[in-house]
Structure 1
Amino acid sequence: MSYGLEFTNDSNVVTVDSEFTRLVVLAKGTYHPTQESGLGSVTSFPRTITSQEPPLVFVRPAGSTGIAGLCLMRVIGSPGAWTGFYVRAYNALTLQPNGSYFACGFSATALASYGMRLWDGSSKLLFDSGTPYARFTRAFQNWTYVKNDSTDQGQSRNYYRVAFNFPVGEYMLINTFSMPMLAYEPYDRQLYCWWDFSGGNLYAIVIGPPGYNPIAFFLPAVFAKL
């Protein structure tokens, strides 16, 4: 940056400048079961998120025992008007969808009634003191293949595991676990995740046609804090 405003923290990392926006928290709150006999959850954001790209949603399931299995997440709305998100429990044997969340984007929102705002040269709002930044804390993809079995519908199901704990205040990005994975044929493979609180494990589960699930799995699990 040749001119403008720049803040650095005590580690000499740029936290605010007048050229680039950071990952900004645009909404936060809790999610609860709302439909499908307690399996499905639709959460409305406190205000419409006006970014063109869907917001990144980080979740922290409630509970300390059992298995929280979340899947089929989707952001509700359209570019410039994102209103909430949907997520579903894996099945009736896993915990209902309960927990807390925050939604982020690389675009600030004018919320503060006083404080500071910062725009770039094209009048895009980069910083507002009422929308705090999220901090990426870690990511890992060192999954270990555990086993394969079949669903009741005869689909092939692979399990991948990594040792896991949920430090206080940390949330996991759920958008990536909502995307279907491509196979070698024109068939999608569905992706799910389990938080095994009692066993101290995080599982990724891939379901697809028999013979098309890989042994190797490299999708990163990404975590952040407010």
Structure 2
Amino acid sequence: MQIDSDNPRLCALYSGNYSATSSSTVVVSFPAPIRTTEPPCIFIRNSPSQPDILYREMTITGSPGNWTGFRLESGNVTWRPTGKWFAAVFASRSAASWGLRMWDEAGVIIYDSGSTPIIFTKATNSWSYQGMVQLALGNAYYYLCAAVGALASDEYFMINPFSRGLMAPNQALTNWCGARFNYSINRLQIYSVGTTGWSDLGQPGAVFARLPGT
């Protein structure tokens, strides 16, 4: 594998646990701003003890070159989501006192052997429509990810592709999207909550990765 400024490695810069206490929204602040122009990829592992909580929104806070954290919102005001997370970018940071370090022509670190690389485990953009179901939140159109398999103890899914609403027919607005990993069936689920929905969700990417040691 070649690593250089044109072929960077996706590294986890920060990781941790999240837990809401008095709100259905979790606010996570990075230990230090992430300086990349593009926003970080946020991976989460929703807690197996909360199999029913749907994550309806994720917003990255800050601005290009100064990403400061992210906000996770669940779909019901009574829910208090908990789980684990990590933020990854195609860049690196000074993390080791010895090893190998590389810079690009502008002096930006592109590789540090002390930065934790993530390990992609599976990815797909294939979804199957399961029909309409009734949730406490309202009508929902339910889809299953084609990737099947139990999550390893250090495995997460990327929440970015599901952080905004989903298109709905004959509506000026979008339906909100609820996502979660269902541990009982070992599948990623998506719910399009609204009055109408499509049988064909499209092809949002489901990406899974391990972060060793977490």
Offset from partner CA, 1:184-210 (integer Å, 9 cap, x none): 5532232111332234443101124x3
Give the letter for the 2:39 counterpart. P
1:1-226 correspondence to structure 2 within 5 Å: 14=1, 16-17=3-4, 19-36=6-23, 39-63=24-48, 66-91=51-76, 96-149=80-133, 156-162=139-145, 163-183=148-168, 185-208=171-194, 210-211=195-196, 213-217=197-201, 218-226=203-211
Answer whether contact 1:35 1:41 (CA < 8 A) is retained: no
1:152 shift after superposition: 6.9
Residues 68 and 195, structure 1, Cα contact 8 Å, conserved in 2: no
Larger radius of gyration: 1
**Separation in structure 1 between the aligned mates of residue 38 and residue 166 of structure 2, nearest angstrom:** 20
Alignment partners' CA distance in 2, 1:223 and 1:171 = 6
Cα separation, partners in 2 of 1:20 and 1:196, compared to 1, 3 Å:
closer
CA contact (8 A) 2:46 2:180 kept: no
- Matches of 1:22 and 1:104, distance apart in 2: 10
Change (3 A) 1:67 1:182: closer
Q: Are 1:19 and 1:120, in contact at CA under 8 Å, matched by a contact in 2?
A: no
How many residue pairs match? The answer is: 207
Q: Does the C-alpha gap of structure 1 residues 201 and 115 become closer, same or farther in structure 2, counting only changes over 3 Å?
A: closer
d(CA) in 1 for partners of 2:165, 2:135:
17
Greater Cα shift, 109-118 or 76-85: 109-118
User: Aligned partners of 1:116, 1:16: CA distance in 2, in Å?
Assistant: 12
**Structure-2 residue corresponding to 1:4:** none
Alignment check: 8 A CA contact 1:118 1:128 kept = yes
Provide, for residues 84-105 of structure 1, a one-character-per-residue CA deviation record: whole Å limited to 9, x for no partner: 11112232676x3111111001
Cα distance in 1, alignment partners of residues 65 and 128 from structure 2: 39
Post-superposition Cα deviations, 1:113-156, rounded to whole Å, max 9, x if no partner, equal 332210123333210123221122111233221122567786x5
CA separation in 1, counterparts of 2:114 and 2:41?
18
Distance in 2 (alpha carbons) for counterparts of 1:26 and 1:132: 7
SS at match of 1:74: strand
TM-score after normalising by structure 2 = 0.83
Partners in 1 of 2:92 and 2:167 — Cα distance?
34
Shift of 1:175: 1.0
**Overall identity of the aligned pairs, in %:** 32
Q: Is the 8 A contact 1:64 1:197 kept in 2?
A: no
TM-score of the aligned structures, taking structure 1 as reference length: 0.79
Tell me if structure 1 keeps the 8 A contact 2:33–2:68: yes
Separation in 1, partners of 2:119, 2:72:
23
